């Protein structure tokens, strides 16, 4: 159920780092061959330069992703699983005339956003750290800020691309749900964006502390699958024990799924919600709180990971990985 764009991001690393360096070198050359007044005019603000380099890098990584059938197939598998599951379900949501398949597709859409931010992103960060990308970026002027901008753009493109693909194919093939009217589309947009803000910083924080790519998936997937089952993403949350509902309500997936249901399902489906309503203000509050917590964790942890990187640490990790591979063989 998970697709990691590791190979894509790694293939783009050298090219993107070169773009950042070229941009910096061009600025230095321009400012060095003109007068003081011309230098102030010609040299862009450092933050603007890093944003431009990050956008360039993000575009490079996205093009590599689109040209890599293996990476794309991983995302397509998730969509196919959702469609098969929706096609298999013929029941109605208890107490309503809403097809259970519509509820499942809405929840699966939330899960895919959750997975990209909290599963795929940490794996990408851990793998690139192990391959020395973070160490090389430290030596590149503006490399770390540009890297973070690029990763943010890549995650947003992956998330919304997958969401559009899922909802579009579901509507065509299994009569899947789509928003009704401008208000529904607006709710779909803000819940998806705020949901990503809630989970992407958490994914970055997790990626900064995970030991290595081989353990990353095992450490992440078990709690993620537990949340998928207990957050009402696949079936009505009201059918679960009250204590499970309370635990699930602490985490963002429950609120992402509930917000997307409000955008994609008719108002009659509110009867299946534990509170009997969509609770959109609470959805916004909980996801905002998780976004703030994620940023507070991610920034210091990423800085710590960047400071701790060194050639000796990288060599030692590669040596341990080689020994582990030799023993397993």
pLDDT digits (tens, 9 = 90+) for 227-271: 988 888 888 888 888 898 899 999 999 999 999 999 999 988 988
| Mean pLDDT confidence for 202-214 | 81
pLDDT of residue 147: 78
As a whole-number percent, the residues of the chain with pLDDT over 70 amount to 75
pLDDT of residue 33: 44
92 strand-pairing partners: 99
Region 307-312 average pLDDT: 65
Q: Residue 162: is its pLDDT beyond 60?
A: yes
**Element (DSSP H or E) covering residue 192:** helix 181-209
| Average pLDDT over every residue of 74-78 | 83
Cβ(157)–Cβ(62) under 8 Å? yes
| Distances in whole angstroms, Cα of residue 95 to Cα of each of 91, 178, 239, 261 | 11, 21, 12, 16
pLDDT at 251: 94
Alpha-carbon span 246 to 268, nearest angstrom = 23
Query: Which range has the top average pLDDT, 22-26, 89-93, 98-102, 312-316?
Result: 98-102
In angstroms, what CA-CA distances link 189 with 27, 31, 202, 219?
Answer: 38, 43, 20, 30
pLDDT in tens, 88-124: 888 888 888 899 999 999 999 999 999 999 888 888 8
The pLDDT of residue 21:
47
Using alpha carbons, list the distances in angstroms from residue 309 to 15, 128, 135, 315: 21, 12, 6, 11
**Number of helical (H) and strand (E) elements in the chain, helices listed first:** 14, 0
Q: Are 261 and 278 in contact (CB under 8 A)?
A: yes
The count of C-alpha atoms lying within 13 angstroms of the C-alpha of 246, restricted to the half-sphere facing its C-beta, is 3
**308: nearest Cα among 134, 123, 121, 126:** 134
Give the per-residue pLDDT at 310.
61
d(CA 196, CA 201): 9
Q: Report yes or no: 236 and 254 within 8 Å, Cβ to Cβ.
A: no
More confident residue, 65 or 212: 65
DSSP 247-262: HHTTSHHHHHHHHHHH
The yes-or-no verdict on residue 187 having pLDDT over 90 is yes
pLDDT of residue 78: 87
Average pLDDT over residues 53-63: 84
Mean pLDDT score across all residues of the chain: 79
Task: Give the other-Cβ count within 10 Å of 320's Cβ.
Answer: 11
């Amino acid at each position: 159920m998970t697709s990691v764009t590791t190979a894509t991001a790694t293939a783009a690393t050298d090219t993107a780092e070169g773009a950042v360096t070229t941009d910096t070198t061009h600025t230095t050359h321009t400012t060095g061959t003109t007068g003081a007044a011309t230098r102030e005019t010609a040299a862009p603000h450092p933050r603007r330069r890093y944003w431009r380099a990050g956008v360039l890098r993000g575009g490079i990584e996205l093009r590599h992703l689109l040209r890599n059938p293996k990476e794309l197939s991983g995302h397509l598998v998730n969509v196919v699983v959702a469609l098969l599951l929706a096609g298999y379900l013929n029941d109605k949501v208890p107490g309503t005339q809403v097809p259970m398949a519509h509820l499942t597709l809405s929840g699966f859409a939330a899960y895919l956003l959750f997975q990209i931010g909290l599963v795929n992103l940490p794996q990408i960060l851990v793998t690139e750290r192990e391959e020395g990308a973070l160490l090389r970026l430290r030596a590149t002027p503006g490399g770390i800020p540009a890297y973070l901008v690029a990763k943010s753009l890549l995650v947003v493109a992956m998330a919304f691309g997958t969401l559009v693909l899922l909802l579009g194919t579901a509507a065509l093939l299994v009569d899947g749900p789509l928003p009704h009217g401008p208000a529904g589309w607006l709710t779909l947009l803000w819940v998806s964006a705020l949901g990503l803000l809630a989970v992407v910083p958490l994914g970055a924080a997790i990626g900064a502390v995970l030991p290595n790519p081989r353990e990353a998936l095992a450490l992440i997937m078990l709690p993620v699958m537990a949340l998928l089952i207990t957050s009402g993403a696949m079936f009505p949350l009201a059918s679960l024990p009250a204590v499970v509902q309370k635990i699930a309500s602490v985490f963002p997936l429950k609120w992402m799924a509930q917000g997307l249901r409000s955008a994609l399902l008719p108002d009659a489906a509110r009867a299946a919600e534990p509170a009997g309503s969509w609770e959109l203000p609470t959805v916004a509050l909980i996801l905002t709180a998780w976004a703030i917590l994620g940023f507070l964790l991610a920034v210091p942890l990423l800085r710590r990971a960047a400071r701790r990187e060194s050639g000796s640490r990288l060599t030692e990790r590669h040596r341990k990985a080689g020994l582990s591979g030799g023993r397993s063989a």
